[in-house]
Amino acid sequence: MKKITFLLIFSVLASIPLIAESTTHERRSKEMASSLVTADFTIEINCTDGNWSATATATNPATTNHVWYLYATTVAGATTGGTLVSTITGGLSATFGWLDLSRHYYIRHYSEAPDLAVETRLAVPDFSANASLTYILKDKDGVVKDNFCFGEDIFLDPSGTSNYDRYFISVLRRPSGSNANFELYADYGWTYSNNIETLNLSRLVRTSGENPGEIFEPGYVYELQFAIANPPNCIPWIEMKREFRVECCEDFLSADFVLDMVEGTQGLILRANDFNTYSNVGITHTWTVLSSPNPSGGPYSYVRRIQTTSAAGPITLYHKGVAGTYYFVIHQISTPCGDICYGVRKKGFHFHTGMEPDGGEEVNDCQMCGEIDCNILDGRCFAPGDIRAYAYRPLSVEIFWNWVPGALEYVVEVTLNDPNCCNNGEEIQSWTFYTTLHHQLLGAILERCASWRVGSVCEGEIVWSELICHHNPFELTTPNGEGDLVVDDLGLPGAEPQVYPNPANTELNVLLPKGENPELIRMLDLHGRAVFEQQHPDQQLEIDCKALPAGLYTIQVRYSNNRQTVHKVQISH
């Protein structure tokens, strides 16, 4: 039991006669009596298992007809106004129990003496003095401040806060430079804990609380409301507010990353590593993969583009790289403070030969390397890249490529007995296809020597891919022989997607049907939330599952003809 006693050091006297005042003498007698008779009292507060009680005791035993009034008010320390809650009549003391911790109280004591009525009022103290609330706002390096850059994590350090079993956080905001009232923006609500460690506010409002998904946007002044309470110890709501500002800072955000290359089963794998996700502010990351036979770049072929949000590295960008080809990856982050781009070049090479991956060229020779203007990709017409061939029995060949941004249509040129690839002296035959799709059936050339190339048709311009030579059913090369291109297994279009391994651990592979036109692939958890999504996916995908909780997931594939397939997969770690 906690006990605190307060002694009244003042009194408020009210001359309310019980008999009529008819003479000056009687009035003087009452004035003399009032200087001796008071309604002074003390208040003793107690806390027993959350029961906040107050006992009032009169200090003048000469008074009679005691009446004790308990008033509730919203103003701490007030002794006027409010709402009458309880009345106790008679006795030199009175006890009021189970007081509401969310309210303030005062006691009015009325008593009488001969020819005189007196009263005194005193605020009921609470146990807030038994707790301590203090905190600071700082950055990840521990620097205390109230101005933060957009993308910077904001930390709340509550060191010194004590005697609580729960805490409350909400965030209000208003535009910078405005004198308007703050408006509620993010409500984290109550958390039950008696051990608050340093809190990442940016992560809390983004991922938790009653309204998750909010971010600290630039251009606003924020007001943080941090409060504690401990009802079992009768500690009421204690709050402290602080203001801070978030703004765009020059050269703070960065799109830097490291591009790794490893050998895979179908070619060289390009993976992005060591980049800032800025996951607590919802930045969108766009990865554009280009290829070129030249180290300085150009002409470029468009390989693929993917978008991520909060996923950390490594991220597999491409898994069919070819030795001798230069790959250029442009990482673009899109933020309220503008777009920022950074490019890295990597040369495909045979690991078993020990050949240097970059050939010693200087980065200065690379127009797509380092910090670059994001507009460098705007308005460019890229040749189709990542051209894959599928052999269908008995003699047909069909080729696929990825969608190229800005291309209005595609042109496919096929040359039978092309002297750039064939040395058979047979008659040269050529034919051309135009299509708005991203695949084309070439005809019965499986057992013939031929070449093909694909061009993107942009505004009055055609940009061609490299020439691909086809010698026999199992060999596709470029004319200069810079590595083999993979020929996929024989098969027929229209088959169901293959999902393997199942169960999966760290990586899940999805092989989509050949000859189909999938528009969207999604991976859903048991709550129906998309944990992976990609539009116009490649024929084969690798889904990183390391960060996914173990459990049952659904792979949903939707095609352009509105056909849909659903497959279940188990993730286990």
Whose CA is closest to 150, among 198, 202, 189, 98? 202
Residues 98 and 198 in one domain: no
Query: Position of tokens 């805490």?
Result: 167
User: The tokens of 376 are what?
Assistant: 């460098």
Q: Determine the pLDDT at residue 68.
A: 98
Q: SS in 3 state form for 75-100?
A: CCCCCCCCEEEEEEECCCEEEECCCC
Within a domain: 207 = yes
| Six-digit token string for 278 | 């800025």
**DSSP conformational letter for 162:** B
CATH for 113: 2.60.40
Q: Rounded distance, CA 463 to CA 503, Å?
A: 43
Residues 278 and 310 in one domain: yes
Same domain, 116 and 140: no
Together in a domain, 121 and 20: yes
At residue 29, the 3 state secondary structure works out as helix
Query: Total domain count for the chain?
Result: 5
- Do the domain assignments include residue 184? yes
What's the rounded mean pLDDT across residues 534-540? 84
Bridge partner list, 304: 289
On whether both 372 and 399 belong to a single domain, the answer is no
C-alpha 532/C-alpha 243 separation (Å) is: 37
Model pLDDT for residues 266-290, shown as the tens digit of each residue: 789 999 999 999 988 988 899 999 9
State how far the Cα of 214 lies from the Cα of 212, in Å rounded to an integer. Answer: 6
* 493 in any annotated domain: no
Specify whether the CB–CB gap between 557 and 563 falls below 8 A. no
253 in a domain, yes or no? no
User: Could you tell me which of 149, 125, 151, 154 has the C-alpha nearest to residue 138?
Assistant: 154
The answer as to whether 252 is a domain residue is: no
What is the pLDDT at residue 513? Answer: 74
Q: What is the distance in angstroms between the CA of the first residue and the CA of the last residue of the chain?
A: 51
CA 447 to CA 19: how far, in whole Å?
Answer: 127
Helices (H), 37-171: none
What's the full length of the chain, in residues? 573
Query: Which DSSP string do the residues of 548-566 spell out, in sequence order?
Result: SPSEEEEEEEEETTS-EEE
pLDDT tens for 199-250 read 999 999 888 877 788 999 999 999 999 999 999 999 999 999 999 999 999 9
Identify the CA nearest to 458 among candidates 382, 375, 534: 382
pLDDT of residue 367: 86
Q: What is the Cα–Cα distance from 10 to 20, expressed in whole angstroms?
A: 28
Q: Which of 12-21, 255-264, 288-297 has the lowest mean pLDDT?
A: 12-21
CA distance 246 to 389: 52
In a shared domain, residues 19 and 109: yes
Q: Which of 247, 272, 297 is the last residue of a domain?
A: 247
Query: Per-residue pLDDT for 16 more than 80?
Result: no
What is d(CA 321, CA 318) in angstroms, rounded to the nearest whole number?
7
| Mean pLDDT computed over 444-451 | 81
As a whole number of angstroms, the distance between CA 305 and CA 331 comes to 10
**In whole angstroms, what is the distance from residue 80 CA to residue 524 CA?**
60
* CB-based contact 81:123 (threshold 8 Å): no
Report residue 363's pLDDT band, with 50, 70 and 90 as the boundaries.
low
The CATH number that applies at residue 546 is 2.60.40.1930
Same domain, 464 and 521: no
Q: Do 140 and 208 fall into the same domain?
A: yes
pLDDT classification of 165: cutoffs 50, 70, 90: very high
pLDDT at 520 over 90: no
* Cα–chain center distance at 175: 22
Contact present, 383 and 454 (Cβ < 8 Å): yes
Cα atoms found within 13 Å of the Cα of residue 172, Cβ hemisphere only: 11
Same domain, 465 and 562: no
pLDDT tens for residues 57-99? 999 888 899 999 999 999 999 999 999 999 999 999 999 999 9
From 218, 247, 276, the end of a domain falls on 247
Query: Could you tell me if 224 and 171 are in contact, meaning their C-beta atoms sit under 8 angstroms apart?
Result: yes
Q: Is the peptide bond before 231 cis (omega within 30 degrees of 0)?
A: no
Question: 162: exposed, middle or buried (C-beta count within 10 Å: 0-12, 13-18, 19+)?
Answer: middle
User: Which burial class, exposed, middle or buried, applies to 345 when counting CB atoms under 10 A from its CB (0-12, 13-18, 19+)?
Assistant: buried
Q: Based on the domain organization, do 46 and 119 belong to the same domain? A: yes
Q: Hey, is 174 helix, strand or coil?
A: strand
Structure confidence at residue 535 as a pLDDT band (50, 70, 90): confident
pLDDT at 48 over 70: yes
Picking from 354-358, 386-390, 434-438, 526-530, which range would have the lowest pLDDT averaged per residue? 354-358
Residue 547: which of 527, 532, 528 has the closest Cα? 532
- Domain check: are 101 and 145 in the same one? no
Q: How far apart are CA 278 and CA 285, in angstroms?
A: 10
Task: Give the domain range for residue 113.
Answer: 2-126
Average pLDDT over residues 469-488: 48
CATH of the domain at 421: 2.60.40.10
Q: Where among 247, 273, 295 does a domain terminate?
A: 247
β-strand partners of 239: 227
Query: What's the number of CA atoms in the CB half-sphere (13 Å) around residue 166?
Result: 15
User: What are the backbone dihedrals phi and psi of residue 184, each rounded to the nearest 5 degrees, phi first?
Assistant: -60, 130
Note the pTM of the prediction, 2 decimals: 0.68
* pLDDT the model gives residue 394: 54
Percent of the chain with pLDDT over 70: 84
In a domain, 15, yes or no: yes
Q: Does residue 366 lie within any of the structural domains? A: yes
Distance CA 287, CA 305 (A): 5
Could you tell me if residue 491 is inside a domain?
no
Average pLDDT of the residues in 146-153: 96
Same domain, 475 and 403: yes
Query: Which H or E run includes 27?
Result: helix 24-34
Distance separating alpha carbons of residues 172 and 147, to the nearest angstrom: 16
